[in-house]
Amino acid sequence: MNLHIGLDGSRIAKAHYTGTEHYSHQIFEQMFRVAPHHRYTIYAPALSTKPLKTANAQVDWRIIPFPKLWTHVRLSAEFLMHCHTDVLFIPSHTVPLIHPTPTVSTIHDLGFKRFPEYYSRLERVYQEFGLTQALRASTRIITFSAATKRDILHYTQFPASKIHVIHHGVDREIFHPVDPLSKPSLRIHEYMPYLYSIGRLEAKKNTVQLLRAFRILKEKYQMPHHLVIAGTPGQYGYAEIEQVLKELPQNTRDDIHLLGYLSDQAHATWLRFASCLVFVSGFEGFGLPIVEAMASGIPVVASNISSMPEIVGPAGILVNHTRAEAIAEGILPLLKRQYVQKSLQSKGLERAKQFSWERAALTTVGVLESAVQEVRNAH
C-alpha cells in the first residue's frame, strides 16, 4: 500500500519547541525514514524552524500563511479547495473543520477535564471545543500513555479499539550519559551541584510545590544544591509562583536559577550534569523529560499520578506531588546516598531502551494505513 499522507506541520513552524512541537518534529522525521515508500505533503503556515530530515522519502511542502485560527480556518479552506491526500495525520488534537477522510489525530492529555483548576475558563472552553472536534473527525486516535487512554474512555464514547497507545522515543544523539573523557563547556556541576527541572512556570506543572520542597531541602536538611528550572512563564498560575519566590529567604532564593527557554542542546547539557531531574508535574500525557533524563544516566524524581508511573516504571522515585514534604523526602536519598543514585542511574539507562522514535513511527504509519483500509473497506 503506497499512500499520499497529509501532515499538519503547524507545530514545527513555531519558533520555540515544547512537547507537542518536539513530538511532531521527531515523528515526522522517523516516518520519512521508516516508510519512504509513502508520499508526504506537509501543510504549514511557514517552513520548519528547525532542519527537518526527509531521508529518501518524497516530501512536499504546502505553505499557506494565515495570521490566526490557522488550522480551523485556513487549513479547512485548503482541504475544501484541494484535497488530494489519502489520509491526514494531526500530531495534536486540533483538527480542521473540513478535512479528508480518514483523519488520524493525537490527544496528548485530558488534563483540562481531570484538573480544571489548572486552566482558565477560556482555555477550558477552547480545549473542550478541540476535543469534541477531534473525536467527531478522527477515524483513529493516537495517544501516548495507557493513562491518557483510560481518561479518553472515561470522559468520551470513542471506541477503545480505535485508540492506539504509542509511547514517545528519545533522541539519543542528544540525550546520552556524560563521556568521562570529554571536556564540555559546562562544568557548573563541579562548583554548584544542582537539581534540574523543566517545564512552563504555571499551575499544572506544580512549580509552587517544587519551590517549597527546595526550601525544605535547604532549611531542614542544609543541602548545598541549587535548583535550576528551565521554562517560560505559563498562562495560568505564574502570579502565585512569583509570590512564592518573593516569600523565600534571600539565601534560598539566591540558589534558584530560572533559565527561561532552552535550546535542545542547552537542555541536554544542563540535564546531563544535574544531580537528578525533579519532574513533579500535576499531570502529564507522557513526560518526555523523564525519558531524556533516564537516557542521560540521570536519576528521576516524578509525580505518582497520570502517565508518570507508567513511564518511570521501576527506574525512578515517585512522590506525592501535592505535598512539598513528600517531594523533598523523595529527593533526599538521591543526594545523600550514592548507592541510591548509582542504582537509579543503571535502572534508568536500561528503562530508556524501551522508548524508541523509530518504533513509534513504524506503529504510527501502521495506524494510518489501517485507517485508510478501514474507510476503503466501508465503501
Q: What is the structure's pLDDT at 100?
A: 79
Write the DSSP string, 158-219.
--GGGEEE------TTTS----TT---S--GGGT--EEEEES-BSGGGTHHHHHHHHHHHHH
Q: What is the structure's pLDDT at 91?
A: 96
Sign of CA pseudo-dihedral 245, 250, 252, 258: positive
User: Is residue 187 over pLDDT 80?
Assistant: no
**Cα(147)–Cα(163) distance, integer angstroms:** 12
Residue 79 included in any domain: yes
ω into 102 cis (within 30 of 0): yes
What is the per-residue pLDDT across 73-82, written as a single tens digit (0 to 9) for each? Answer: 889 888 888 8
Domains contained in the chain, number: 2
* Same-domain pairing of 236 and 297: yes
**Cα(286)–Cα(146) distance, integer angstroms:** 9
Q: What is the structure's pLDDT at 172?
A: 94
| Nearest of 282, 368, 377 to residue 31 by alpha carbon | 368
Residue 174 included in any domain: no
Q: What is the structure's pLDDT at 180?
A: 64
Q: What is the structure's pLDDT at 253?
A: 95
Q: Is 259:230 a contact under the CB 8 Å cutoff?
A: yes
User: Which residues are CB-contacts of 315 (< 8 A; sequence separation ≥ 6)?
Assistant: 294, 300, 344, 347, 348, 350, 351
* Same-domain pairing of 140 and 199: no
Largest Cα–Cα distance of the chain, in whole Å?
70
* Same-domain pairing of 263 and 276: yes
Q: What is the structure's pLDDT at 109?
A: 95
Instruction: Supply the CATH number for residue 280's domain.
Output: 3.40.50.2000
Q: How far apart are the first and last CA of the chain?
A: 17
What is the per-residue pLDDT across 134-175, written as a single tens digit (0 to 9) for each? Answer: 999 999 999 999 999 999 999 999 999 999 999 999 999 999
**Cα(28)–Cα(278) distance, integer angstroms:** 29
* Same-domain pairing of 342 and 361: no
Q: What is the mean pLDDT of the chain?
A: 93
Residue 263 included in any domain: yes
Confidence band, pLDDT 50/70/90 cuts, at residue 213: very high
Q: Is 352:170 a contact under the CB 8 Å cutoff?
A: yes
**Half-sphere exposure of residue 350: CA atoms within 13 angstroms, side-chain side:** 10
**Half-sphere exposure of residue 359: CA atoms within 13 angstroms, side-chain side:** 11
Confidence band, pLDDT 50/70/90 cuts, at residue 234: confident
Which DSSP symbol is given to 70? I
* Same-domain pairing of 84 and 146: yes
User: Is residue 190 over pLDDT 60?
Assistant: no
pTM for this structure? 0.93
Q: What is the structure's pLDDT at 66?
A: 86
Q: What is the structure's pLDDT at 296?
A: 97
Higher pLDDT, 178 or 105: 105
Q: What is the structure's pLDDT at 16?
A: 85
Residue 183 included in any domain: no
Phi-psi region of 306 (alpha: psi -120 to 50; beta: other; left: phi over 0): left
Q: What is the structure's pLDDT at 107?
A: 97
* Same-domain pairing of 165 and 199: no
Residue 178 included in any domain: no
* Same-domain pairing of 348 and 360: no
Residue 182 included in any domain: no
Share of the chain above pLDDT 90, in %: 81
Write out the residue range of the structural domain in which residue 32 sits: 4-169+356-378
